[in-house]
Structure 1
Amino acid sequence: MKRNIYILLGVVLLVGIALAQNADNGIAAVFKQEEPMPTETGPKAGLLAPAFSLKAMDGKTYSVGGAKEKAIFVSFWASWCEPCKQEAPALNTLAAKYKDKLDLYGVNVTTYDKIRDAKAFVDEYKLTFPILLDEDGTAYAKYNGLAFPTNVLIDSRGVVQEIILGILPEKELERKIKELIED
């Protein structure tokens, strides 16, 4: 008789644990629903990305801001910037690797550079992603640019996920890109 009570208690305990786990999963699923869209725009994680359109070296105009089919990575740079030179090969690799899920734009802040130097930089590092020209510095100013490079990660909803001042190791940068495109 005592043995049956212990068995019954064990079964009830196991059923209770299973129900609690399922309830937790249900709660997690409810909370995992998409976050509400922010209404404020600004150069800060969690806000809508400040919009801009710039002409690129390929003659096309590219736009940032608002919902897009892909996430966007914007790298503000200058040709004389040593960290930009170090980062250029990694950006080229990542742009090619994630081209189906990520638009990578290099934005030359031409107010701090010369177009001929920017073109030489693009040729030297054989950059294959679009290079936009911020000739009056307005796009850079919208993101409160303080350093080169300034990298901005924007999800497909048009929300800034992170702003990175300076460079990161390639593996760390790739991890951040994976997180961005998986959300």
Structure 2
Amino acid sequence: MKKIALLTALAVVLVVLGVYQSNAGDGTAAIAQASASRPELKHGLAVPSFSLKAMDGADYHVGGPRDKPLIVNFWASWCGPCHEEAPDLAQLYERYKGEIDLYAVNVTKGDSLKDARSFVKQYGYRFPVLLDSQGEAAAAYRILFVPTSFLIDKHGNLREIIHVLPREELEKRIQSLIEA
């Protein structure tokens, strides 16, 4: 039953994204077009580097070695599955914050800052929320739809790309990332 619900949600996301892209002008379409010209992300290899300003005003960097593994979650406030996974991300971050970092990257170029702030407040995000206002990080990571999360080890290498998962499965993936 969970599989059917997940597949249905994925189908809805793809339809909504298609409609959104056709109506978004150069915003989301530009991200998809730029993504198509980037090399494919490969498991076990270094992820693209980027730096973005967060809602808290600080600058955050992704790429290269770090003290803890990192989850980079691309999302948008208009995305139904993003709302579905948000409570799980918030809970799991609180549980594992000493062992992982989590950056929620809002695809601000295709979203509204006001709506993004409301989303963050609604779900009580206590981890950095980065603003991809130019769409450069989304392009570098070849984001075609949201939510998409990248599990990155301490060496800055891609371990896994995931989409919405049940909380238990997401937790297993986080534990594996920590152990890697």
State the TM bucket, normalised to the shorter chain. Answer: 0.7 to 0.9
The residue that corresponds to 2:133 in the other structure is 135
Gaps of 5+ in 2: 1-38
Instruction: Report the residue type matching 1:74 in the other structure.
Output: V
Q: Is this contact kept in 2: 1:74–1:106, CA < 8 A?
A: yes
> Structure 2: how far apart are the matches of 1:81 and 1:55?
22
Work out the number of aligned pairs and report it.
142
1:175 partnered with 2:166? no
Residue 42 of structure 1: how far off its partner (Å): 5.5
Higher-Rg member (1/2): 1
Query: SS at the partner of 2:93?
Result: helix
Match of 1:156 among 154, 159, 166: 154
Query: SS at the partner of 2:56?
Result: coil
Q: Is this contact kept in 2: 1:88–1:125, CA < 8 A?
A: yes
RMSD: 1.1
Residue 71 of structure 1: how far off its partner (Å): 0.2
Using structure 2 for the length normalisation, give the TM-score.
0.77
Report runs of 4+ in structure 1 exceeding 4 Å deviation: none
Gaps of 5+ in 1: 1-40
> Structure 2: how far apart are the matches of 1:42 and 1:105?
21
**Identical amino acids, percent of aligned pairs:** 52
* Larger relative contact order (Cα-Cα within 8 Å, sequence gap ≥ 6): 2
Q: Is this contact kept in 2: 1:68–1:156, CA < 8 A?
A: yes
